Amino acid sequence: MKKHLPSLIVALLYCLFIYVFYRTDKTLINQFIIALFSEENYISVKESVTSFLPLRDFAIYSLPEGLWVFCITLTSSFFYLEVQNRRWYLEILPLLLAVILELFQWLHFTNGRFDIIDIAFAAGFWLLALLCTWKNPSKEPLFQSLNSKTVWCVLSYSIVYLAHVTY
- DSSP class of residue 140 equals E
- DSSP class of residue 166 equals -
pLDDT at 37: 94
Name the pairing type of β-strands 86-89 and 79-83.
antiparallel
pLDDT at 1: 67
Where would I find the beta strands (DSSP E) of 14-91?
Answer: 79-83, 86-89
Query: pLDDT, tens digit, for every residue of 93-134?
Result: 999 999 998 999 999 988 778 889 999 999 999 999 999 888
* SS3 call for 82: strand
pLDDT at 135: 77
CA-to-CA distance for 23 and 37, rounded, in angstroms? Answer: 17
Counting as low any pLDDT under 50, the low residues of the chain are: none
Packing angle, helices 63-76 and 148-161, rounded to 10: 150
